[in-house]
């Protein structure tokens, strides 16, 4: 029950960080070739914070958006740490509940400021002006996090 309330709260935090910008309508099926995870899938009921919005958003709102994500990841990290400590104290094997996204976010952006992440996202959209319909989270995951993780494994 507590975990469900926490996740609901985290979702609310993320939603509120986007309140300053209006979400773009979901992409139509003609905009989304099958198998392309970079574009909001047709029928996805969640409006996406896209590059069209990002490039017209104030720097402070971009930072607030990333702060919301950081906050959600941080809360999950500390909740996970508490559950792990409880399990260890009870002599049970720790259960790690961080999602692959949360783990990757922490690893890829360790030591990276929000201002730097904003510059990276801005640079990506500037280099790909035809891809402004692409959701910001898609750019962050596929163009920033995954390459940074792949580079760290080498």
19/114: higher pLDDT: 114
State the pTM of this model: 0.68
Does residue 68 sit in helix, strand or coil? Answer: helix
**Quick one: pLDDT at residue 13?**
45
Task: For residues 68 and 80, give the distance between their C-alpha atoms in angstroms, rounded to a whole number.
Answer: 18
Number of Cβ atoms within 10 Å of the Cβ of 85? 11
How does pLDDT run across 41-100, given as a tens digit for each residue? 666 666 789 999 999 999 999 999 999 999 999 998 888 888 777 777 788 877 767 889
**Quick one: pLDDT at residue 85?**
78
Task: For residues 138 and 50, give the distance between their C-alpha atoms in angstroms, rounded to a whole number.
Answer: 9
- 38 CB-near residues (< 8 Å, 6+ apart): 131, 134, 135, 138, 142
How does pLDDT run across 129-148, given as a tens digit for each residue? 999 999 999 999 999 999 99
**Quick one: pLDDT at residue 44?**
64
**Count of the separate structural domains present in the chain:** 1
**Quick one: pLDDT at residue 3?**
55
Closest CA relative to residue 116, chosen from 62, 53, 47: 62
Note the helical H segments in 90-131: 100-108, 114-127
Per-residue pLDDT averaged across 115-127, rounded? 98
Per-residue tokens: 121 = 């996202």
In terms of Cβ atoms closer than 10 Å to its own Cβ (0-12, 13-18, 19+), residue 39 is buried
Range of the domain at 83: 2-153
48/126: higher pLDDT: 126
Number of Cβ atoms within 10 Å of the Cβ of 77? 15
What per-residue string of b and e applies to 120-150 under the rule 16 or more CB within 10 Å gives b? bbeebbeeeeebebbbbbbbbbebbbeebee
């Amino acid at each position: 029950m507590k975990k469900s309330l926490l996740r609901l709260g985290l979702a609310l935090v993320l939603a509120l960080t986007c309140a300053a910008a209006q979400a773009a309508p979901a992409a139509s099926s003609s905009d989304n070739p099958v198998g392309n995870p970079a574009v909001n899938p047709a029928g996805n009921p969640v409006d996406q914070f896209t590059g069209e919005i990002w490039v017209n958003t104030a720097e402070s709102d971009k930072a607030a958006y990333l702060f919301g994500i950081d906050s959600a990841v941080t809360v999950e990290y500390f909740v996970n740490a508490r559950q792990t400590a409880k399990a260890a104290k009870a002599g049970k094997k720790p259960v790690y509940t961080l999602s692959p996204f949360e783990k990757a976010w922490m690893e890829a952006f360790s030591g990276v400021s929000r201002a730097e992440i904003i510059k990276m996202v801005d640079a990506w959209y500037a280099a790909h002006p035809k891809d402004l319909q692409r959701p910001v989270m898609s750019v962050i995951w596929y163009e920033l996090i995954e390459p940074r993780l792949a580079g760290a494994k080498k």
